[in-house]
A and B are shown apart, each in its own frame.
Chain A
Amino acid sequence: GAVVSQHPSRVICKSGTSVKIECRSLDFQATTMFWYRQFPKQSLMLMATSNEGSKATYEQGVEKDKFLINHASLTLSTLTVTSAHPEDSSFYICSARDLTDSYSNQPQHFGDGTRLSIL
């Protein structure tokens, strides 16, 4: 089945550091990838939609200058948390949709998430 690889799985860093998270579709191409944030015992919250070759679309309330997204190829999207602070600590999950899937009824494929802890 379709596999989405997310790296790193866990990051611990000091406040003020910028952190880059990678999301790769390993055996399929994805023109669209999605970035979510999940706090403990809460739903996944969509942060932004990443489109290959164009600017990402951010959800309301998500700072685009804080969370930089780059989707440089059909298999890779990156999320950079710039000047991270303790309140940015969360579980970040990416997902991708197979380019060859029919329009509906196909599940998005999720990565295993990145646990970000800012000290």
Chain B
Amino acid sequence: KNQVEQSPQSLIILEGKNCTLQCNYTVSPFSNLRWYKQDTGRGPVSLTIMTFSENTKSNGRYTATLDADTKQSSLHITASQLSDSASYICVVSAIRNDYKLSFGAGTTVTVRA
């Protein structure tokens, strides 16, 4: 069973609207959680990275939250743009095993005009 579960699997939103993606994990002991954006046919690009003590982190219109107690994270996209259409991947790493990353299956976001 995957240690990182993302929902929804996909979503379609209208340009200018907001959306929130969810990530639940069971990786332990927790080191950090990262959100990546992956455009079709490209490699993942880091959006945010959070450690145990961080509850929220922003990168432009992207805001990630982390609740290490419930092992949940979310990625909020504000005022979506057509260029936000991509797969968003939640990645979690464990303490003392930081090189091994546990990947979620991703949420495919499609922004329509």
A interface list, Cβ under 8 A from B: 4, 6, 32, 34, 41-46, 49, 91, 93, 95, 97, 103-113, 115
A105:B32 contact, CB within 8 angstroms: yes
Q: Summarize B's interface: helix, strand, loop or mixed.
A: strand
Residues of B within 8 A of A34 (CB): 99
Interface-central residue, A4, A93, A115, by most chain B CB under 10 Å: A93
B43:A43 contact, CB within 8 angstroms: no
A43-B104, A49-B99, A105-B51 are known contacts. Are A111 and B43 too (CB-CB below 8 A)? Answer: yes
Residues of A within 8 A of B45 (CB): 110
Chain B minimum-CB-distance residue to A93:
B43
> A90–B111 Cα gap in the complex (Å)?
26
Partner of B32, one of A42, A45, A104: A104
Q: Which of B32-81 contact A (CB under 8 A)?
A: 32, 34, 36, 41-46, 49, 51
> A112–B108 Cα gap in the complex (Å)?
18
Residues of A within 8 A of B101 (CB): 46, 108
A/B pair count, beta carbons within 8 Å: 56
A34-B99, A43-B103, A97-B99 are known contacts. Are A104 and B51 too (CB-CB below 8 A)? Answer: yes
B interface list, Cβ under 8 A from A: 2, 31-32, 34, 36, 41-46, 49, 51, 89, 93, 95, 98-101, 103-106, 108
A105:B49 contact, CB within 8 angstroms: yes
B31:A41 contact, CB within 8 angstroms: no
> A108–B34 Cα gap in the complex (Å)?
10
The 3 closest A-B pairs by CB, nearest first: A110-B43, A107-B46, A43-B103
Partner of B98, one of A103, A110, A115: A103
> A107–B99 Cα gap in the complex (Å)?
10
Residues of B within 8 A of A41 (CB): 105-106, 108
Chain B minimum-CB-distance residue to A103:
B98
Residues of B within 8 A of A6 (CB): 43
> A32–B31 Cα gap in the complex (Å)?
19
Partner of A44, one of B32, B44, B49: B44
